[in-house]
Amino acid sequence: MVTIAAIIYEPGNSIKNKTGTWRTFRPILDNEKCVKCENCYIFCPEGAIQEDENGNFKIDYDYCKGCLICMNECPVNAITKVREEK
Amino acid sequence: MIEIRFHGRGGQGAVTAAQILAKAAFYDGKFCQAFPFFGVERRGAPVMAFTRIDDKKITLRCQIYEPDYVIVQDATLLESVNVVEGLKKDGAVVINTVKDDLDLGYKTYTIDATGIALDVLGVPIVNTAMVGAFAGVTGIVSIESVKKAILDTFKGKLGEKNAKAAEVAYNEMLKKYG
């Protein structure tokens, strides 16, 4: 991904950098427990948590860096962590 | 001369690991060098660092292109970086992974350094454990010198914990491959 001298050849290419491989812990969102308060969506520094068409929140593991802020902010503990096996 | 390349992610301590390994070699009475790869140093980006160890004075000042050993601090780097690039035929890889069946085309030593770091330090920062593991599989530096170098680099409790992490990794490697 990193080009020589970190040259950017085209705009909007940071989407190609799948930062999800950085994770040590993977957050798991339990939609049964979720009360749709949107806290995780607001606090996620990567914008990796989005609402889908059914109103459920989904974590985009391609970009989630596993910072676990969502887990910390979730008021009903619907988000748990598991260690990434790599 | 023994040349070692560290692969890590920015913030994982690859550069510090290279320095600790060099210091440990120094305490063993050898000549040494440690330096980073000068590139894009930002948190999470793939980074490299290098260590040279020799019994006589080292006059080389260039980057290491054909290392004898490669230490990989994060197995997901395999997807984005060719970690064995330029590695000598009889070289070896020490890699932090939970898998046992990695085939990199070279002699490979695996260790769950993240598990050790989480156990001992409480954070997934694996550099000291990887140096301990390297000492365990190669014997190029003694674990006493590694611990001394770690205590010298990190002050107080942090140093003690990191020295413990290195020792745990060292013993695990001895048990697994010794």
Mean pLDDT of chain A: 90
In chain B, residues 40-99 whose CB comes closer than 8 Å to chain A:
40, 44-46, 74-76, 79-80, 97-99
Tell me if A40 is assigned to some domain: yes
Res A10 pLDDT > 80: yes
Q: Would you call B89 exposed, middle or buried from its count of C-beta atoms within 10 A (0-12, 13-18, 19+)?
A: exposed
CA distance A55 to chain B (A): 32
Strand pairing partners for B9? Answer: B46
Count structural domains, chain A: 1
Per CB-CB distance under 8 Å, the chain A contacts of B97 are: 86
Tell me if A42 is assigned to some domain: yes
Whether A21 sits inside 8 A of B76 (CB atoms) is: yes
Is residue B47 within 8 A of residue B17, CB to CB? The reply is: no
**Between β-strands B31-36 and B46-54, what pairing exists: parallel, antiparallel or unpaired?**
antiparallel
pLDDT at B46: 85
Whether B40 sits inside 8 A of A2 (CB atoms) is: yes
Res A1 pLDDT > 70: no
Number of Cβ atoms within 10 Å of the Cβ of B70: 26
CA distance B94 to chain A (A): 14
pLDDT at B11: 83
Lowest mean pLDDT among A2-11, A23-32, B72-81, B104-113: A2-11
Res A65 pLDDT > 60: yes
Per run of 10 residues, the mean pLDDT along chain B (length 178 residues) is: 94 93 97 88 83 96 95 90 93 93 91 95 94 96 96 95 96 92
Binding residues of A for [4Fe-4S] cluster are 34, 37, 40, 44, 64, 67, 70, 74
Q: CATH number of the domain that A42 lies in?
A: 3.30.70.20
Tell me if A10 is assigned to some domain: no
The pairs formed by B103-107 with CB atoms below 8 angstroms and a separation of 24 or more are: B104/B78
A81 touches chain B (CB under 8 A): no
Domains and CATH numbers, chain B: 2-177 (3.40.920.10)
Residues spanned by the domain of A75: 18-83
Radius of gyration of chain A (CA): 15
Tell me if A72 is assigned to some domain: yes
**Between β-strands B107-111 and B92-96, what pairing exists: parallel, antiparallel or unpaired?**
parallel
Instruction: Give the Cα separation of B61 and B56 in Å (integer).
Output: 14
Instruction: Give the Cα separation of B25 and B34 in Å (integer).
Output: 11
Is residue B46 within 8 A of residue B79, CB to CB? The reply is: no
Whether B76 sits inside 8 A of A85 (CB atoms) is: no
**Between β-strands B2-9 and B46-54, what pairing exists: parallel, antiparallel or unpaired?**
antiparallel
Tell me if A23 is assigned to some domain: yes
Tell me if A2 is assigned to some domain: no
Give the chain A residue nearest B44 (alpha carbons): A22
Tell me if A57 is assigned to some domain: yes
> Residues for chain B: how many in total?
178
Supply B45's token pair: 């980006």
Nearest to B80 among A1, A6, A83 (CB): A1
Tell me if A11 is assigned to some domain: no
pLDDT at B33: 95
What number is the ipTM of this complex? Answer: 0.73
pLDDT at A2: 60
Q: Where are the beta strands (DSSP E) in A23-85?
A: 25-29, 49-51, 57-59, 79-83
Q: How many CB pairs under 8 A join A and B?
A: 29
Rounded to the nearest angstrom, the gap between the alpha carbon of residue B158 and the centroid of all alpha carbons in its chain is: 18
pLDDT at B178: 77
